[in-house]
Structure 1
């Protein structure tokens, strides 16, 4: 089986299972720009791939691939971990279609053969109230009224809903319930979920939708051309606003820092961890606990209650 044919069929399969736009973009980057660009020079088809090829590929990501974000050599542990998980999903898909052998299929199941990359759990910076205020003010410096209204609404919505970036770009006009300040979104794994927002975001969304230059295909967030915004479009838009505001957003968490802020606000409001987990649409409460681990002020308050 040809590499590119198999990859495109895998991507089509994932789209058919309603994977989020962000997930599909990640799959495309990891399988086309990383994996295919490397393996095409080493094996002509899937059945020619050896374990040594896979080991050499991950070594290349660590020590040979240019990092366009830093300008250095070698990708981050987080990027390599994501590439490993995506390739494992692709590998399992290939096995179900008998495109690889049983022996090849075992490689991602045995840590001694193909170790899973270690990804350190880092404490991510949280967007402060002052930084949020500066971002909202900087929207007024954008070139067109539609951009000003759009970016202002997106920033408020991210801050007041805790949406993931893929969930935000999945929003549809027909799924919004403006009177309830709610919408149905496509969450991780293609699952439909509810997301909610506050009064400030509500006013901003209503203003933006009134002033959109196009109606597009029903997507809420549109480029000036009328095409739906992608995950990359939203990231670029927020980075541009941050540049205007003179703010440096966390590398690799341009949008996710809003989500962390929302989780901390939910904890500060008195919700317990299981309630916050529901609002964050986490399948595993351990994921939510990581947000608590990153909440310095909350941990400090707990520490101060301890009498040594």
Structure 2
């Protein structure tokens, strides 16, 4: 197994809390792909396209699982700078239902923030930083990598927008709530570290806070807030941001822009999460519904 694949599996275990069975399945799938293609971080797109033939006798569900594993690996490799391209488009695309994202309830979000705000009231740098991270995760829907690698130059002065460098080096603007601006302001006043550090959330050696450490901080906060830590992660808070915005009436195209999705099909999964609200919307806002009310 290549070093890149090992690093990817380590990330799944530490950052996403993947179970033993999940890691075993990913290991088998990535190992099998590397037997055919060699180091996945270097495999050319033309070679990746040949997997369709190699997997032709497999069940659609198995192909979907293998494709998912490779898509996630290639996305990770792109973020890490191991590849300059994403060959995922050459992978087989069997028709399979996409699982719905995990979403926190409003009550769970309130409990998480209540605990973070209580701890930030102590003035301890770690607690103040924790609240700023939480505000940006849930308030702006940032990906974990986008958040921890934010440069100081991205912090807005007067404009209520934050410049974020997303997947594939694509920059986008996301709104920063008044709450988040306040939390960031307090954090900047006590932010430790070398004044030459260019990151909003620096760590030792001039680097930024790692994704793994962010994941750990959220788990620990959830436990102190009497929430199940297994249900909390940066991804879950990003999903909560999207779903709760949709519940509040946000347009799907606006949501696509805020999340930095290249394809609106990726954003549309949230319409399934919020199906109940959409049914109510049709029943109450459709012209025929108003006509029935007059009758």
Alignment coverage as a number of residue pairs:
243
1:30 equivalent in structure 2: 8
2:201 equivalent in structure 1: 221
* SS of residue paired to 2:23: coil
Instruction: Show structure 1 runs of 5+ residues with no match.
Output: 12-26, 35-67, 97-101
- Give the whole-Å Cα distance in 2 for the aligned partners of 1:217 and 1:81: 41
1:75 is the counterpart of 2:26 = no
1:93 is the counterpart of 2:42 = yes
1:112 equivalent in structure 2: 56
- Give the whole-Å Cα distance in 2 for the aligned partners of 1:227 and 1:202: 23
- Give the whole-Å Cα distance in 2 for the aligned partners of 1:263 and 1:31: 27
* Residues 201, 209 of structure 2: 8 Å contact kept: yes
1:20 equivalent in structure 2: none
TM-score scaled by length of structure 1: 0.65
2:98 pairs, out of 102, 106, 121, with: 121
Deviation at 1:302, TM superposition (A): 5.0
Instruction: Show structure 2 runs of 5+ residues with no match.
Output: 69-96, 290-295
- Give the whole-Å Cα distance in 1 for the aligned partners of 2:145 and 2:269: 21
1:52 equivalent in structure 2: none
Q: 1:198 to 1:83 in 2, by over 3 A?
A: farther
- Give the whole-Å Cα distance in 2 for the aligned partners of 1:232 and 1:296: 33
Deviation at 1:266, TM superposition (A): 2.6
- Give the whole-Å Cα distance in 1 for the aligned partners of 2:162 and 2:143: 14
Deviation at 1:168, TM superposition (A): 0.5
1:272 is the counterpart of 2:262 = no
1:145 is the counterpart of 2:124 = yes
TM-score scaled by length of structure 2: 0.67
Q: What's the RMSD between the two structures over aligned residues?
A: 3.8
